[in-house]
Amino acid sequence: MAAFEIGEQDFLLDGEPLQILSGALHYFRVHPDLWADRIRKARLMGLNTIETYVAWNAHAPERGVFDLTGNLDLGRFLDLVAAEGLHAIVRPGPYICAEWDNGGLPAWLMATPGVGVRTAEPQYLEAIAGYYDEILAVVAPRQVTRGGPVLMVQVENEYGAYGDDADYLRALVTMMRERGIEVPLTTCDQANDEMLGRGGLPELHKTATFGSRSPERLETLRRHQPTGPLMCMEYWDGWFDSWGEQHHTTDAAEAAADLDLLLSQGASANLYMFHGGTNLGFTNGANDKGTYLPITTSYDYDAPLAEDGSPTAKYEAFRAVIARHAPVPGEHPAPRASAPVLDVALERRVALADALPLLVEPKPFTHLPTADEIGQWSGFTLYRTDVESDDALLSVDEVRDRAVVLLDGEPVGTLSRTEGLTTTSLPPRAGVLDVVVEDQGRVNYGPRIGEAKGLIGAARTATRPLERWEVGGLRLATLDPDLLTMLHVAEPQDVAPVAGPAFCQGLFTSVPGADHFLRLDGWSKGLVWVNGTLLGRYWAAGPTRTVYVPGPLIRADNEIVVLELHGARTGTASFVAGPDLGHTER
């Protein structure tokens, strides 16, 4: 079995110096049938290691549930890394940030009365122990010391940006060691003195995160890590996108030149990201530094390997840099091929109001509960009440994060956290008021981690408080068979404009196994499923203009379903030749 150690100057693999050339690749953001392809392309770029976070809330969507199947099969992913001859670094958090929903922390845990967040609070530590029982049982037998690929495991993540509870960090270390983790443990923090000083422990090896001015950042790290190898655990080679903002890119030549400076100093690096992937379903996170901004479905990150696995100019620039420091295979990955181009008429429609009885069984409340109070941890929540003709308006204290308001099934307004819209006018008639609230992604960074979703506080009209409600979570992660039946028998409407909110369905034939890029020009906002898989959200706010459809989801005969929340000028969806991630900020 191999030995991996942290030496006075270098990482040592069986006593020989190892410069770690790693790339971040999150298994949970990539279709499992594509893992081997992405890992192989990492090796072809010259990398010798794959790093991955572990998203606790993806594995444990409910208390008492733990899933290690499909795109959550971490063991299979690590075995594929080993089969390609690469090493691995595992970062199981429990907090990961990663622009992922709630930073990877389960919402059900955060809803526990009195629970701590990233502290040595007993309920929090007990839950982590249960999580570590499951996930470290996968990692431990795959350590390099036992013939596997795993070189290192990280404790927490950029903790110095959040807290300074050394007892908490030591509790995590103890739990990891008790569960068989024997390889070196590390911490990572942003490369400034305050965060590096707060976020680690003297007995753990410190690494830093940064994306520019590498010599300066390494000098800062060295002040806090006097001996041992220097490592940038996240070399930010791109950036994520938020809805309503511009698409972020970084110059490939400038990034490559800075990476060269980093490697020339003998430091190790983990490219964040090597391959970003996709925030499928309801998994995207959000940031709130004064304005709430949810992350886009695409997590392309302007990484060397694009969202669809195609090499980019940055891939070739980084490959050339790595070749100056380590052997690089002679083989190059193939460039992107044009995807199938076709239009699909979404001819069959079912109004959301008509579908609600299939999606939710609301329960009565004499107050306004949060989504967390009813156990709805992501997606959409229905709030229903009766209004009178003289109520005139609906006003709520706070909405998290966006809602469409329906009176007797007809749209009458929108509430929005980002836009500060908490009031909407109502028509002068009595009826049933439905407020369909969208959780657009839980905050993944900063003090708002763990906050509740739904309608917060109280609600009232112009004349009275609203205290009697029926509330329930919509089941949208998979499509209800009865809803599909309703769509299949609905009267076709050709390509007529769509009056939302409504489900729209269409059929198409295409090339099995081929990647597709869905474009919904003229549509407003909503969700899209292909062959029953919820790909995620689309939004005319941009910047993203296409939705990536992984090839393994495509058959000869296919079905697309769209939930349009507002309206579309045409009922046509288009598949185009390649991705369009929007205008850049440069």
Please pick, among 84, 158, 307, 564, the residue that the annotation labels catalytic. Answer: 158
234 tagged catalytic = yes
* Cα R_g (the chain), whole angstroms: 25
Nearest CA among 13, 37, 10, 12 for reference residue 25: 37
Tokens of 532: 């029953």
Please pick, among 51, 84, 156, 234, the residue that the annotation labels catalytic. Answer: 234
Specify whether the CB–CB gap between 572 and 234 falls below 8 A: no
Place of tokens 């490219």: 271
Who contacts 540 (Cβ-Cβ below 8 Å, separation ≥6)? 523, 524, 525
Query: Cβ of 88: how many Cβ atoms within 10 Å?
Result: 26
Identity of residue 74 = L
Specify burial of residue 490 (Cβ count, 10 A radius: 0-12, 13-18, 19+). Answer: middle
* Nearest 10 degrees: Cα torsion 465, 466, 467, 468: 150
Specify burial of residue 66 (Cβ count, 10 A radius: 0-12, 13-18, 19+). Answer: middle
Specify whether the CB–CB gap between 36 and 42 falls below 8 A: no
Specify whether the CB–CB gap between 41 and 117 falls below 8 A: no
* Nearest 10 degrees: Cα torsion 275, 58, 525, 576: 40
Specify whether the CB–CB gap between 470 and 364 falls below 8 A: yes
Q: Are strands 502-509 and 348-351 parallel, antiparallel or unpaired?
A: antiparallel
In angstroms, rounded to a whole number, what is the distance separating the alpha carbons of residues 88 and 47?
11
Query: Cβ of 393: how many Cβ atoms within 10 Å?
Result: 14
Count CA atoms closer than 13 A to 229's CA, side-chain side: 24
Specify whether the CB–CB gap between 428 and 390 falls below 8 A: yes
557-564 sheet: strands from edge to edge: 348-351, 502-509, 557-564, 525-530, 533-539
Q: How far is CA 37 from the centre of its chain?
A: 21
DSSP state of 374: G
158 tagged catalytic = yes
In angstroms, rounded to a whole number, what is the distance separating the alpha carbons of residues 161 and 395?
36
In angstroms, rounded to a whole number, what is the distance separating the alpha carbons of residues 349 and 394?
28
DSSP state of 437: E
Active site residues: 158, 234
